[in-house]
Amino acid sequence: MKKLTDYFGQNIEGKRIVITGGTTGIGKAIADLLISLGGRVVIFGRHHEDFKNAINDIKENFPDAEIYGTPADVTIKEDIDKILEIVDTKLGGIDILINNAALGAPGITKETFENYKYIIETNITGYLAFSEEATLRMRTQKSGHIINIGSMSAESRTGESTIYVATKSAIRGFSTSLRKELNPLGIKVSLIEPGAVTSDMQTDSKEEQQKKIEKMEMLEAEDIAMSVLFCLSQPKRCDIVTMQIRPHLQII
């Protein structure tokens, strides 16, 4: 029997990978790691400047990278179709989908209807839409892996972030059900639920976030990228169904 070290990171080369929200934070860290291992990657995000910066950074650090994408919003059907056209044209299919695009949100009394409707469409509908499209492509090859980036908010359920809690609780339920639907088709589904992670979604300044990292109260995006790689590196017989990762001193 092979050791896990024989698998770890060795199966990424040539894989066709889509990362939603792949231009900043956790998504960008995942893109960097999988590209460094030879993955063929499509990334996108809402903001043109973030997309341009991400692509330039990847090409500078990985000159031979096969990286594609365009600015796009997961709540807009035309943008989804635009990404899928790139996927089909440049990659010819999907082996790995990382559902990551999401927005932070406050309590229900602190947000307008239109704003939290948009957050729900981003944090939930976006995951559903890309999971559907990935499944259509994966089931013909009877293999694939969908990783949903959730949040420990689905468990801690703090009162000051009720909208975000609602969306991440939905992703927890969706992931459980999706695995039951897709496993018979040869498609793996994993849920990764991080605790506090440094990102532009945090209300703390970058300096405050760095202090929390040093105090072991906050994770770095690269920590989540390594968790994704661990899920992807398992032998076919082994599913990582749910992974929770939190800072050492974040007591939930």
Q: 239: domain CATH number?
A: 3.40.50.720
21 in any annotated domain: yes
158 in any annotated domain: yes
In the predicted model, is pLDDT for residue 124 greater than 80? yes
Q: Provide the pLDDT for residue 198.
A: 82
Please state, rounded to an integer, the average pLDDT across all residues of the chain: 92
Range of the domain at 121: 4-244
Structure tokens at 119: 């957050």
Cα 5 from chain centroid (whole Å): 24
Q: What percent of the chain has pLDDT over 70?
A: 92
Structural domains of the chain, count: 1
Q: Which of 68, 116, 127, 164 is catalytic?
A: 164
Q: Tell me the pLDDT band of 35, cut-offs 50, 70 and 90.
A: very high
250 in any annotated domain: no
User: What average pLDDT does the segment 71-86 reach?
Assistant: 98
Task: Yes or no: say if 130 and 18 are a contact pair by the CB < 8 Å rule.
Answer: yes
The C-alpha atoms of residue 99 and residue 224 are separated, in whole angstroms, by 13
Cα 84 from chain centroid (whole Å): 17
238 in any annotated domain: yes
249 in any annotated domain: no
Q: Provide the pLDDT for residue 43.
A: 98
Catalytic-residue membership of 164: yes
Q: Tell me the pLDDT band of 110, cut-offs 50, 70 and 90.
A: confident
In the predicted model, is pLDDT for residue 249 greater than 90? no
In 3D space, the residue among 215, 136, 119 whose CA is nearest the CA of residue 171 turns out to be 119
Task: Yes or no: say if 98 and 147 are a contact pair by the CB < 8 Å rule.
Answer: yes
151 in any annotated domain: yes
251 in any annotated domain: no
147 in any annotated domain: yes
**Taking the model in full, what pTM does it have?**
0.92
- In sequence order, the β-bridge partners of residue 145 are 96, 188
